[in-house]
Amino acid sequence: MNKQTSQKTDVLIIGSGLAGMLLAVELANAQVKVTIVSKRTLSDSNTNFAQGGLAAVVPESIVDSPELHLQDTVKAGAGLTDSAVAALIIKEGAQLVKKLSELGVGFDYNGDGTCALALEGGHCRPRVLHSKDTTGNAIARALVAQVRSSAYIAVRENTLAVDLIVKDGICVGAYLLDDSSLQVVSAGRVVLATGGTGQIFERTTNPAVATGDGIAIAWRAGAVLSDLEFVQFHPTALYKPGAPAFLISEAVRGAGAVLVDADGHRFMKRFHPDAELATRDIVARAIYSTMTEMEQRSVWLDLRPIGADEIAERFPNIVTNCQSWGVDPLSEPIPVCPAAHYFMGGIWTNANGATTLPSLYAIGECASVGLHGANRLASNSLLEAGVMALRVARHILRTGIDPILGLALAADDYAFSFQLPVNLRDFRRAMYRYAGLERDEAGLTELFDYLSESTVTRQIVGVAECEAANMLQLGQLIALSAMSRRESRGAHWRSDYPEQDDRRFGRRQYIGRSDVEEMVGKPFTPDSLMLCLPAGETILT
């Protein structure tokens, strides 16, 4: 593998979704030199695939308020939402909407010029802004145009961040892999905005790039992670043999779509009074239970109560994609079953996006700032990604760029070798089976043994091997975290511990490398991962 000389930038942003690109634009507008790295192209991100929209309380929401939005967020989070952080993010939602509109995002509007607001599961008011059913794509297109037109932003596409560089306890850059060449970029600030982890699981709504790279490299660099047991499975992803798990937006249930079993009967009311508009964890488990009871591989989502004209007008992307796989939502129900969708866990940060590793920030789905708790409220992800990008931009501009920028770095002596799964398909299948919607001690033990044994150490020569190594590492950490939380809460369901236990587990789990190294080979205890943050750590506003 060729090794090249180092490059320098003021701020290195790894990831090109809403969080990474909006941060780059904000910093560039203040004449800060930014390098943004994308594993594929700028448009390849979870943001680009987001259908439903962005949850926010806008000025014309006369029946809504930030307090109600916070109430819904905390309720969905099942007792683990950091309410102080959530209040900050929700309060700044209207500012984010204004900023995105100024940058060219075309949200849908009513005939009177007010924002068209959709109702989604877990929300007590319509508050989800959207652009048809391709909201994320509209956001991504606008931000890509802004990024490409800026003289202060250098774009590195088809480039993977392999590891972070830490000198004297400070993050000073990253090793990048580009066409099998290892390069070094030093930076005054490094920001991870690499998205989620869905590709760890056999069924996922996430694009191929969602392999948890940022979380894995932060972990290897020594940053503290949190809430890794909380993986949200979207209740309604298309189920057709050979077809991808295409997401059927929560917005269709808000518009009147209903879930039915193999006999055509609605079943959600026997699981929750909110029926199809219950939070995602409740709906996903209800679907799973119904599938198990009736020995079916799916249930069905019937959009016909919405009305054909409204379906075609409001959800054209869903109609087109389903029809391409032989299902016509205008005339028949869609076969659906849950798929891994969103990761509430990730790199611990405070309210300014700062991690426990100096000069390293994390924003978006790879971060765990405390907004989502044990279960994300629908459409709060784009809200978090955008608001946290604006907060990190303000924080960096206020505190300045470290003089560490001048440090000379080289790519020599880097050990480019990792453990990989022996068989990636078997790995994903095992993760979906044992760390998916329903978990128990026996299954998690079997999973962890499998993940420990079915590995091979290889010299990394390309992106695919790096991704596989990162997924294996996160799979092991998710298994450890799920094993430690012996209760059921939000998106984490333990069939052997079906009750929520606030006395023992009413707090977030934090985990650092040294802690896991001490735990390996030792018996698990309920408090194995209940670790404290550094003394004196507080929320920064």
Active-site residue (options: 156, 189, 203, 280): 280
Which of helix, strand or coil describes residue 505?
A: helix
Contact call for residues 162 and 416 (beta carbons, < 8 A) = yes
Query: Which of 473, 427, 466, 425 is closest to 450 using CA atoms?
Result: 427
Angle between helices 66-76 and 83-91 (to 10 degrees): 140
Which of helix, strand or coil describes residue 199?
A: helix
Contact call for residues 51 and 134 (beta carbons, < 8 A) = yes
AA letter at 118: A
What sign for the dihedral angle of Cα 31, 209, 227, 501?
positive
Two tokens at 316?
């054209």
Looking at the DSSP bridge assignments, the partners of residue 155 are 36
Instruction: Give CA–CA dist 336/326, Å, rounded.
Output: 14
- Is 489 catalytic? The answer is no
Which residues have C-beta within 8 Å of that of residue 238, sequence separation ≥ 6? 244, 245, 246, 247, 248, 321, 322, 325, 327, 334, 335, 336
Angle between helices 463-484 and 441-453 (to 10 degrees): 150
Contact call for residues 191 and 361 (beta carbons, < 8 A) = yes
| Catalytic (active-site) positions | 280
